[in-house]
Amino acid sequence: RKEVEQDPGPFNVPEGATVAFNCTYSNSASQSFFWYRQDCRKEPKLLMSVYSSGNEDGRFTAQLNRASQYISLLIRDSKLSDSATYLCVVGREAGTALIFGKGTTLSVSS
């Protein structure tokens, strides 16, 4: 089983739509969780950290369910500029390394 699994999509949505991405991770002892955004042929960039209590940053909301080992990202009022690949990322229990999911591709059209 892969350490981090995501539905690769693609998700094709119109501007203004709400879209949700899901991710599962295999190691129940993992301590840190993130969503990264990666544009085509660019490096990944941190979108937001994910906390058990859930957190929101503008149009983006992230949730963590430790019992189910499940992470989600909700994007409201999608913009054309949201088109990218969204990577679910989990910090290893021991050490400092981050482990990436394959990513979910979002395409927002006008």
Tokens 């990577």, residue located: 87
Residues composing the chain? 110
| ∠ Cα 88 24 56 (to 5°) | 55
Query: Nearer to another protein by C-beta: 9 or 17?
Result: 9
Query: Nearer to another protein by C-beta: 53 or 96?
Result: 96
- Rounded to the nearest 5°, which phi and psi values hold at 82? -80, -10
- Give min distance, CB of 100 to another protein, in A: 4
- Give min distance, CB of 16 to another protein, in A: 27
Give the pairing of strands 70-75 and 60-65: antiparallel
Please, are residues 44 and 60 in contact by the beta-carbon 8 Å criterion? no
- Give min distance, CB of 9 to another protein, in A: 11
Give me the residues that bind another protein (CB under 8 A), please. 4, 8, 32, 41-46, 87, 91, 95-103
**Burial label, 55 (beta-carbon count in 10 A; 0-12, 13-18, 19+):** middle
- Give min distance, CB of 48 to another protein, in A: 13
Query: Nearer to another protein by C-beta: 67 or 94?
Result: 94
Query: Nearer to another protein by C-beta: 32 or 69?
Result: 32
